[in-house]
Structure 1
Amino acid sequence: MAEPSSAPHIYNATTTDDLVDWGLQPDSVEGQSKSTGRLVHKGPNNQPESGIWVCTPGRWRLSIPRDEFCHFVAGRAVYRSDEGEVIAVEAGTVVMFPGGWTGECHVIETMRNIYMLV
């Protein structure tokens, strides 16, 4: 859980279950992925934004609005860009999605992602 600090933080980010219901993933293609998470920090104009995102299995369309750094710490998923690029992620994978990246995400096993959107 985040505590007041000049350096916002969450202890045990890879296992904490103190998450907020963020609802069903929009633009579903298959299944009903449910998202939960915890915001660590959101700066002026929502930049940067960082936190934890957990998502259950399913598949949906996505468009990444600005550069997003993701460190996947649990689960498995496959991202497919509209240009045919395939990025398979599992625990330990780090991805830097550029702003404007579009495609689909298929979560195979509930994933946990520590992210920063800049």
Structure 2
Amino acid sequence: MPVDIDDLVTFSNHPLTPTASEPPPERRLEGTPKQGVANYFTDATGQLDAGFWESEPGKWHAVSERNEFCYILEGHVRIADERGNSKDFRKGDAFLIPYGFKGTWQILEFTKKYYVIFVPKDR
């Protein structure tokens, strides 16, 4: 089946209203951050997702069982590894969290991001 221009996924149109969510209680470290996610695309294999995510301030344990590319649209995020080393990301920053990362996500200011997630089947 041919793919044409109408099949392109245009993130800037924000076609979906984010679905409410929050980190699971057992992973929360600070606050009860309200979050929203709007998945714009899932490929036919179910391994690749892309969309929009937002979160209020809070902090939780992060265990990455996927590869995730993030592009920060607004806000301030601090990601720390298990040893306590951390990096801050703000509007315009892009980064990739590789499969197997363990640490914390901390939202310091209300944050919005685009994401692209790939979940390897062989892991």
TM-score by length of 1: 0.84
The aligned residue for residue 43 of structure 2 is 43
The aligned residue for residue 20 of structure 1 is 19
Distance 2:28 2:84 in 1: 19
Deviation at 1:46, TM superposition (A): 2.4
Two-structure CA RMSD over aligned residues (Å): 1.8
The aligned residue for residue 30 of structure 2 is 30
Distance 2:43 2:13 in 1: 22
The answer to whether 1:94 aligns with 2:101 is no
Distance 2:103 2:17 in 1: 30
The aligned residue for residue 59 of structure 1 is 59
Deviation at 1:99, TM superposition (A): 0.7
Deviation at 1:17, TM superposition (A): 7.9
Q: Point out the more displaced range, 50-59 or 37-46.
A: 37-46
For structure 2, list consecutive stretches of 5 or more residues without a partner in the other structure: 1-5, 119-123
Distance 1:107 1:80 in 2: 11
Deviation at 1:19, TM superposition (A): 1.9
TM-score by length of 2: 0.81
The aligned residue for residue 84 of structure 2 is 84
Distance 1:71 1:39 in 2: 15
The answer to whether the 8 Å contact 2:16/2:40 transfers is: no
Deviation at 1:45, TM superposition (A): 4.0
Amino acid at match of 2:33: S
